[in-house]
Amino acid sequence: MRRFRNVKIVATLGPASNDYAMIRALHEAGADVFRLNMSHGDHDEIRARHAIIRQIERDLDSPIAILADLQGPKLRVGTFARGEEDLAEGAAFRLDLDEAEGDASRVCLPHPEIFAALEEGASLLVNDGKIRLRVTACGTDFADCVVVNGGTISNRKGVNVPDVELPLAALSEKDRRDLEFVCQLGVDWLALSFVQRPEDVHEARTLADGRAAILSKIEKPSAVAKFDDILAVSDGIMVARGDLGVELPVQNVPPIQKRLIRKCRIAAKPVIVATQMLESMIESPMPTRAEVSDVATAIYEGADAIMLSAESAAGNYPIEAVTTMDNVAIEVEGDPTYREVIEASRSANRKSVAGGIVAAAREIAETTDIKAICCFTQSGTTALLTARERPRVPIIALTSQRGTARRLVLSWGTHCVMTGELERFKQAVVNAARAARTGGYATEADQIVVVAGVPFNMPGTTNILRVAPCAEHLIFASDPE
């Protein structure tokens, strides 16, 4: 299914998008990747949604990526005798390990690992940052605090600890069970929550054992501080702005978003911008102007994908939300300023033969009348390097590996086509020309650039670039072998 934009759209599935008709309609409206949120729904529900997506993929003969988003550790206060209490600014409040129900002076925080990491002066944020506490004294089983920002605190509200790196693994026992379950199902990407350090990614990669690519969610200040190391061991990144905006001053988030996107592009790894992109469309068929500008900004910055959460999972207008994103993307990418911004941010840091070849392919495509860059890839690396160049023409990624095709769906501008295993370069040129014609990217009168590696079917061998005609009789005439 051809898209007339390069940025990809990730849509979260949930109660509002739970059957074949709706999920297919979302895909046809523009959703390229479907997110299964492991924080909601049991394994039977997840299995059913996965099966529907794969059925739609077969029916439309179009690769679809599935992203399973692991919940991560959840830090929450205990319960209150009256259900909730009002905390006034300047009041004293204690968090401790006592399981007794809380009151206006204290509540249980059943996470000894938090107390082990706290220091005097550290901040604790409750209920998405609506309540801010500052630690005045602490020990192994308590934290005495002063209320900096007051409000209503109630049962089992979430707690964020922005100032310290917690001695917690990114994977809880639930996450480990969920990871094994979705890997057996056959998802393409695993989104890892609560990443604080590269070691968190190593654990998930070991458990996944090659069955899914690892996407690290950047939602904590410690992850921002160690981003280069986390990026190096990740296959992709999600800029999870909701939690970042809780744990960091909100004005810090836009420059962080821009910086992380730029680094991901240099590394040739896909990056998703997520959280509250079209929040008002949960209840309204029209977005706010500010939301449209937010989506546009992520596209101008060169993000590979933009994501819908509750808008498509639980909102009243899931199809309208996807359509809005699609329309904004097409309009932005048609703006001459978009090309200026994208090309001005292109890095010349190419350190491999493959990187040099795809850069040359982009140069040729943009200085002559080339209709598409067709790259053959086994692992996906050649297509990712081509996407890093952000060419002006479509990228057609041809692969014999269905898993590779599905994972590449997340990557900017990449149109994935399944092909058989090849033995000769002429076969590659013929298959590329057919894919370009069949997909409507070129006619028999046009030319394409073909990038491949010989010997075939071996990752990491990209070493050939050829300008080829799309007409098969011209291919054979120019190369009788």
Helix spans in 145-288 (H): 173-185, 198-208, 221-225, 227-233, 241-247, 253-266
Strands 236-240 and 213-218: parallel
Residues annotated catalytic, as ranges: 35, 76, 217, 275
Among 205-219, 427-441, 460-474, the minimum mean pLDDT is found in 460-474
Residue 243 has pLDDT above 80, yes or no: yes
Region of poorest pLDDT, from 147-156, 199-208, 365-374, 450-459 = 450-459
Mean pLDDT value of segment 249-266: 96
- Rounded mean pLDDT, 124-132: 94
- Work out the mean pLDDT of the chain and round it to a whole number: 94
- Long-range contacts, 417-420 (Cβ 8 Å, 24+): 418/63, 419/376
pLDDT of 96 above 80: yes
User: Which residue, 91, 159, 93, 89, is CA-closest to 128?
Assistant: 159
Percent of the chain whose pLDDT exceeds 90: 88
What pLDDT does residue 228 have? 98
What is the SS3 assignment for 215? strand
For residue 11 the two structure tokens come to 């849509």
The model's pLDDT over 29-81, given as tens digits with 9 standing for 90+, comes to: 999 999 999 999 899 999 999 999 999 999 999 999 999 999 999 999 999 99
pLDDT surpassing 70 at residue 416: yes
Q: Which domains does the chain have, with CATH numbers?
A: 8-72+170-338 (3.20.20.60), 84-160 (2.40.33.10), 353-478 (3.40.1380.20)
What is the arithmetic mean of pLDDT over 78-101? 96
Cα–Cα dist 363/313, whole Å? 41
For residue 155, pLDDT over 50 is answered with yes
Q: What pLDDT is recorded for position 480?
A: 45
